[in-house]
Structure formats: C-alpha cells, structure tokens
A and B are shown apart, each in its own frame.
Chain A
C-alpha cells in the first residue's frame, strides 16, 4: 500500500468509510510531512492543532456512518479565502493580523462536507502574479526540479502554495482561485489537475476580491476524479453572492464514464503562438491523437480575437482591482501607517502595505478608469471582451470542447522573467481568454518536458458544462498515464 500521503482523495475517502484508516492517522501523516517540507514555503499559516481536532470530529462522524463527500480529508486552503478565527493575509502586508470573524462560503461548504484544514496556502499578493514571487511572505518553491539542476523553480501562480502543497504531498487537495489562469497554470507547472469552473458556479463570498467579473474558485488535485469530488463540495448557489448561479450541482464523479465517442473537440489555430517551444506543440499533437484514439473527432476552429485577450485583460483586471482594493485604507482592519492627516494615513498605509506588482496594477487601473481615459481604455476593453466571448460562442456551434496547451512553457526559475511585467503576463496567454468569456477550463498533466518538468493540456468547455471537461480530462489522464513524482518527494 502506498504511504498515506500518496493516497488520492478518492482512495482515502473509501478507506476512511471502510474504517481501514482514521482521519486522525491521515491528518497526522500530512502534518508530519508538512514539518519536513518547510523549505517549499507552501503555507503562510499552518494549523496542525485545528487539523487534528477537525480530524477527530470527522472520525466521530465516520464511526456513526457519516458519508459526507470529503469526510476526514485534509486540504490546504489558499490564503485568499476568509477563514473564521484563522489569520487571512492574501499574502499582503496590508492585511497584517487580519483574523476574519466569518467564513467564506466555499470553505464553509468544504467543512460541511467533512474536510479538514491543514493550513493557509501561500499565493501571489492579492492573487496578482504567475509565479508566486510577489507574496509578502516570500516565494514558494516548486517541488519539481530540472534534470541535473537543483535551482529552485517557481510553482506558477497565483495559487502557487496550493499547487506546491498538493504536488509535495503535504495536502491531498487544495482550494485555489483563477482570475486569468491562477488555478490552471500552477497546476500545469506542478503536474496536477486544476479546474476553473464557470463564472458563477462557486460563490465568491468571503474570498478576497481581485477582479470580481473574472475571479472564480476551484480545486487543485492530483487526479481528475479528486477534482470532481472537490468541485462537487465547493460549488453551489449562495444568496450572499448575487453572481452565483441557482443551478443544481451535478454529481461530477458520474461524468467520469471514460467514453468520448463521437465528441467533437476544437483546435483553435490562433493558439499556435510565435516562439512556442516545439515540445509544447508536440504535446498538443499527442493530446489530439489520444482523443482521436478514444473515438472523438478533431475540428479546426478559429478564435480570431485571441491575441487581444491579454491586453484586454490587463485593462479590465487592474480596473476592477483598483476599485476592490480601495477598501484597504488602514481604518477598519489590517496595517495602519500613521500620517498627519487622514489622506496621509491612507497614502502611507497603502504605499507601505502594497507590494510592487499590486501597486503597479492599482495605478494602471486608476489610470484607465480616470476622467478622460475611461472610454478609450476601459469601455474599449469591455467591447473587445464581448468579441472574445462571441468567438467562443461561434466555436461551440462546431465543437463540444476545445483542446489547447495550458501554458507556453514549463516552470521557470525563481527570478527569471522578473524584469519585464509583460513577459510574465504572457504565461497566461492560453488561460486568460477563458476568464474573459466566463467559461470553465481544466488543466491535466500530460507529459514531461525534455528537462523533466510537467506539462499540462488544457480543455475549455461550454458554460456550466464542467461534466464534459471531467469526462474528456479523464480520457487524457488515462492515456497520459502521468505517474511521475517530483524528485523532492520521497518514495
């Protein structure tokens, strides 16, 4: 039998229900592993005492026949989700000491489903970044290394701590959020499954807001089945989020039937970007071959506005961020830096409390929303966004799902791409259009680069059709047989 920390959520769930394993043992194994993996810096706050108490409560429910979806399963929670009584930082200095008196809806749903919290996972500050290097609490290390090279690599971002924790077996799964790729890109960099649900599928209530029309919570796990189990527990309508959609949550595990005969999958020609490494193109071709072998039919499609998605995103996301982050003023919570006047206190608090990337985005956002520029930048971007969404609507007249690579490269070293913000933004070239259109997307580990690093394939679905994503992702997972483990993980 595999060691406890190597079990998938599905395996552990079954063993717990059969009373072959207790949540206390399973949770203790993870707490022990966390103690040995501190150099990854995957967690901002570890909550071992809370975890063991929750595990014992779970064991009590299991003893009396409890079968909640995640009963006894230890998870990491991205430190963007407010957790009652546990420090919540968004990886920002400006939230120093903030201990929410309330619980986010998604985490409340997870605890209702029996899950156990191991701690709060590191991330890019306010989820702004693609490498987890903008965190006030320091960068996260990817548990993977290039062959013959011990240089620490980024885990991707912004959900870098969530991905590193799951890859390093110091959490069975993790919550994450995705505004432009922040679930799928780190999942791809760490050899994991990451699902961004349709906008409105999960409640955003109690999640520290970055860009409200783009943010969506989802799971990062080691298998497609585990992602289906977690999403089922996280999703659902919430009156506290008026954009959450009142639709029933299907049993996503039932979608994993392994049969995609007759399904049409689209290959967008615009995703062949300049300078894309040959191994990414090869992986994409391999994905096409796998789906064809399983009886699905490839269809050439066009998403003509793809190249405008990133610049469109870098107007809309900073604009929304500059509004959302206006609340951090030193008055009601978090950091306060004194000043002679009220305005001086605001300016000092925000000048010291926000890191470089957050400051940059708030300033860009303020600029594009300011008098005289609103129409030229913000309204223009919203019109382009409509065209990007329309591209997908047109494409789905010809296909059921779209297949692309997740990222244009494998994980890079900490410090690389640090000088040019736009080079960093290009990480999200394949993932950003999905957020703009509000669609669901999933990254599935599909192979290793020549340097021995994980590479992911990306599926984009129709709105609220996560089931097709799981079904197709399951087929890719079976074909790819991705069993490689990070070299820094024992066993």
Chain B
C-alpha cells in the first residue's frame, strides 16, 4: 500500500490532528516506511486462526446494575478550561456548535 499526501491529510483529519502543510511530506515518508515494514505480516498464513482479542482467558464479570459513583460535578469540572461552575449549572464550554 502506498500512502500519498492526500491520504495522510485525510487520516490527520480523521484523527483531529492539525498537521501543517510543510510537515506533510516528511510525514508521508515516515508513515510509508512504517506501513511497508508492518506489511511483512502478509507473509504469515493465518488461515483458520481466530483474532486474539483478549490477553488473558477471562470471562468478563457481571455486576448488579446500580450507581457506584457520582455526585461530584465540581470535581469533574475542576480540570476544565473555562467551565461554567456547578452553581451556575455546571457545564464544559466549547466553541459554538449550533448556528
């Protein structure tokens, strides 16, 4: 698979990472290098092999569906930039989304 500038720009948009145009060329080269290298996996015959999705054989535990935590909006807002305080409603703020 060969990566081009447009593909890398599209991936950067998907990942929501701003990449300056002048950095794109270098990045295309680096990502291409890594992608070509991981493609050696194509040499492995994986016919009939189930994908491994868990590092240990465990059955995920079930628990009663009840509230175990919460009621701490002030703590949750404490690290936010420009929050609206709990007293005034308790919100995170972002640039305007709806016109």
Contacts and interface: CB of A to CB of B under 8 A. Distances in A.
A426 to B, nearest CB: 11
B15 A380 contact: no
Interface residues of A, number: 72
Interface in A134-154: none
Given A347-B16, A350-B17, A387 B56 contact: no
Nearest to B63: A239
B80 to A, nearest CB: 5
Contact of A360 (B31, B42, B61, B79): B31
Contact of B11 (A98, A99, A366, A376): A366
B50 A386 contact: yes
A366 B40 contact: no
Interface in A308-325: 308, 311-312, 314-315, 322
A440 B76 CA distance: 35
Contact of A383 (B40, B52, B78, B97): B52
Contacts, number: 161
B55 interface: yes
Contacts of A362: 15, 17
A446 to B, nearest CB: 28
Interface string B60-81: 1101000000001001101111
Q: Classify the secondary structure of B's interface with A.
A: loop
B31 A363 contact: yes
B6 interface: no
Contacts of B17: 347, 350-351, 354, 359, 362-363
Contact of A331 (B38, B40, B44, B92): B92
20 contacts: A199-B56, A200-B55, A213-B54, A312-B38, A314-B37, A332-B76, A347-B13, A351-B17, A360-B27, A363-B11, A363-B12, A363-B17, A367-B35, A379-B51, A382-B52, A383-B46, A385-B51, A422-B33, A422-B34, A422-B37
Given A322-B15, A383-B52, 16 more contacts: A101-B76, A213-B54, A239-B61, A243-B55, A243-B56, A339-B95, A342-B94, A350-B15, A351-B18, A381-B41, A386-B49, A389-B52, A421-B33, A422-B33, A422-B34, A422-B37
Interface of B: 1, 3, 7-8, 11-19, 27, 30-31, 33-35, 37-42, 44, 46, 49-56, 58, 60-61, 63, 72, 75-76, 78-82, 92, 94-95, 97
